[in-house]
Amino acid sequence: MKLLNAQSENFQAELEALLAFETAQDPKIDQIVADICADVQQRGDAAVIEYTNRFDGTCARTLADLTLSQDDLKNAFERLPENVQTALQTAARRVESYHRRQKMESWHYLDEDGTLLGQKITPLDRVGIYVPGGKAAYPSSVIMNAMPAHVAGVGEIIMVVPTPKGERNDIVLAAAYVAGVTKVFTVGGAQAVAALAYGTQSIPQVDKITGPGNAFVAAAKRRVFGVVGIDMVAGPSEILVIADGTTPAEWVAMDLFSQAEHDEIAQAILIATSQNYLDEVKAAMDTLIEAMPRRAIIEASLGNRGAFILAENLDRACEIANYIAPEHLELSVEHPQQWAEKIRHAGAIFMGKYTSESLGDYCAGPNHVLPTSRTARFSSPLGTYDFQKRTSLIQVSEDGAQKLGKTASILAHGEMLTAHARAAEFRLKD
């Protein structure tokens, strides 16, 4: 792991190098995805079945073979051990409760001329949730994507999840059950994204697609953006821990590991105000790494992109955090709320030593889909609001039309848009 000193002359340059990440899209992947999308748009079900059989090693004959009903989801749930059932339900309930507070409501008011102005809130009609299959099968991701849509009041939540060689993951399907998913198609890849975006004979067209996926899925989402809405195209996951030395070093070490174990390009950074503490955490990591099943991934991730930063004080640490705008920020310090005040840019802030990021990943309540790669400077966690939209409401009174009409007329003439001006002038009495 690299060691940076915030007081060194080259610090800013070193920090920029540490955060740099090449996000260029691969033109070969783009071409393959373009072909698949065009084919699915044209041939519908037949194309989806062909690609699924080819890429996932299945032998489906019709889309019915790739369709799961509510009953299938319920059965998957019931096959699980009771403690897992309870854990899924607890997580779903807490996520639901938090996301209810995010729900937007319509409003309107009358101005002094009796003109009504407002904002009407409506849920999306139908959304698609992409869930990766195979080795990275995350039930928590199902809950985090589907529950906000459910809370928003979306009419139909369609989930797609590939099942390589036909193997279904009961926990993933059970998560869909507790999170209010309407229907599941066991298809994945660009073909699943295209089917949701354009609709096929059996897969209904949706209005928005969310959820993580591999490079093909990301390229397909970019391609269909505009036809449907998409959530962000996420970069590698990141954590920044700011520690004042009061949290046990082992706890912080494990929090860094929990980020690093995601994949080789995940990023874990620790800022502390004393070299001693950095040394303690390093020693703890050296011990704890032995027992980690994903040791190779953790070592690669920390070696590639991990760093310790020594900062002169917590004020400086917060400044650095605002530059990094991390996806996950742990303020593992005393009086964390006072320091959280100073944070302007972060996806989520985990405050105090008891708040490990992993509690937030699964069940604290807030969403675990967060802006990565410094995009917290301008974007937000996935939320209920992503499955609602606003419509402006304007009802100008006869009186209002007199005043507004004169203003609109002057400005429209200023823009040389005569019809705009005339439309306003027609509503004037004099």
Residues 360-399 that bind a second copy (CB under 8 A): 360-367, 370, 373, 375-381, 383, 389-398
Query: Does the annotation place 259 within a ligand binding site?
Result: yes
Query: Does the annotation place 108 within a ligand binding site?
Result: no
Task: Give yes or no: 327 in active site.
Answer: yes
Nearer to a second copy, 64 or 291 (CB): 291
Considering only residues 42, 62, 201, 418, which one is a binding residue for a second copy as defined by CB under 8 A?
A: 418
Considering only residues 229, 265, 282, 342, which one is a binding residue for a second copy as defined by CB under 8 A?
A: 229
Of residues 99, 150, 328, 368, which has the active-site annotation?
Answer: 328
Q: Is residue 265 within the footprint of a second copy (CB under 8 A)? A: no
Nearer to a second copy, 49 or 330 (CB): 330
Q: Is residue 12 within the footprint of a second copy (CB under 8 A)? A: no
Which residues between 108 and 147 bind a second copy (CB under 8 A)? Answer: 109, 111, 115-117, 119-120, 122, 124-125, 137-140
Q: Is residue 228 within the footprint of a second copy (CB under 8 A)? A: yes
Nearer to a second copy, 254 or 265 (CB): 254
Nearer to a second copy, 25 or 275 (CB): 25
Question: What sign has the CA pseudo-torsion 194, 196, 198, 200?
Answer: positive
The minimum distance between CB 64 and a second copy, in angstroms, equals: 26
Q: Tokens 């590991």 correspond to what residue?
A: 257
Q: Is residue 324 within the footprint of a second copy (CB under 8 A)? A: no
Q: Give the side-chain half-sphere CA count within 13 A for 246.
A: 12
With CB under 8 A, what is the number of residues at the site for a second copy? 119
Task: Give yes or no: 328 in active site.
Answer: yes
Q: Is residue 27 within the footprint of a second copy (CB under 8 A)? A: no
Q: Is residue 194 within the footprint of a second copy (CB under 8 A)? A: no
Nearer to a second copy, 64 or 293 (CB): 293
Catalytic residues: 327-328
Binding site residue list for NAD(+): 130, 191, 214
